[in-house]
Amino acid sequence: MGQGLSIQKCDFMIPENNKSHHTEEISTKRLIVRRGQPFTITVSFSVPIHNYLKQMKRTFLVVQTGSHSSKADEIQAEFPISSLGDQKQWSAAVEEQDPNFWTLCVNTPANAPIGQYTLLFRASKSPQLLGSFILLFNPWCQDDEVFLANEVQRQEYILNQEGIIYQGTENAILAQPWDFSQFEEDMLDICFMLLALGEHFQREKDPAQCKNPVHVCRAVAAMVNCNEFRSLTEYEPGQHNNGTPPSTWLGSSPILQQWIASKFQPVRYGRCWVFAAVLCSVLRCLGIPTRVVTGFTWAHNTKSSLSVDEYYDEDGTLLTQDNSARVWTFHVWNECWMARSDLLPKYSGWQALDATCQEKSTGLSFCGPAPVHAIKEGDTQVDYDVCYFFAAINAKCHVWIHKADDTLKPAFGGTKYTGNNISTKSVGSERCEDITQNYKYPEGSLQEKKVLDKAYRNMKELETTSSSTQFIFIPTALEEPLNLFIHFQSSSSLQLGQDITLSIEVFNNSDREKATHLVAGIQALHYNGVPIAQLWKEEFHFNLHSNSVNNLRVSVPYTWFGKELGENHLLRLTAVLRDEDSSYMYLAQEEISLCDSPLTIESSQKTWSSMSQAQQRSASRTPLQNPWSSV
Residue at which a domain ends, from 109, 136, 163: 136
Number of domains into which the chain is organized: 3
Residue 292: inside a domain: yes
Q: At 61, which CATH number?
A: 2.60.40.10
Catalytic option among 331, 373, 398, 526: 331
Contact yes or no for 457/380 (Cβ under 8 A): no
Phi, psi torsion values for 63, nearest 5 degrees: -115, 140
pLDDT digit string, tens, across residues 62-94: 999 965 545 556 789 999 988 776 778 999 999
Domain that holds residue 18: 7-136
Catalytic option among 10, 217, 272, 367: 272
Residue 430: inside a domain: yes
555 exposed, middle or buried (CB, 10 Å; 0-12, 13-18, 19+)? exposed
155 and 127 housed in the same domain: no
343 and 261 housed in the same domain: yes
pLDDT above 70 coverage of the chain, percent: 85
Q: Is 322 a catalytic residue?
A: no
Query: What is the chain's mean pLDDT, rounded?
Result: 86
Phi, psi torsion values for 556, nearest 5 degrees: -115, 115
> Would the pLDDT of 55 be above 60?
no
340 and 407 housed in the same domain: yes
25 and 58 housed in the same domain: yes
398 and 502 housed in the same domain: no
Q: What is the pLDDT of residue 305?
A: 84
Q: At 385, which CATH number?
A: 3.90.260.10
132 and 156 housed in the same domain: no
346 and 450 housed in the same domain: yes
Q: DSSP strand E in 219-325: where?
A: 232-234, 267-270, 290-300, 307-313
pLDDT digit string, tens, across residues 323-349: 667 899 999 999 999 999 999 999 999
455 and 495 housed in the same domain: no
Q: Is 240 a catalytic residue?
A: no
Catalytic option among 144, 179, 189, 354: 354
199 and 272 housed in the same domain: yes
Residue at which a domain ends, from 437, 464, 491: 464
Task: Kindly state the average pLDDT of the residues 607-616.
Answer: 38
Q: Is 217 a catalytic residue?
A: no
Residue 591: inside a domain: yes
418 and 508 housed in the same domain: no
Report d(CA 532, CA 523) in Å as an integer.
7
207 and 265 housed in the same domain: yes
pLDDT class for 1, splitting at 50, 70, 90?
A: very low
Residue 475: CB atoms within 10 A of its CB come to: 10
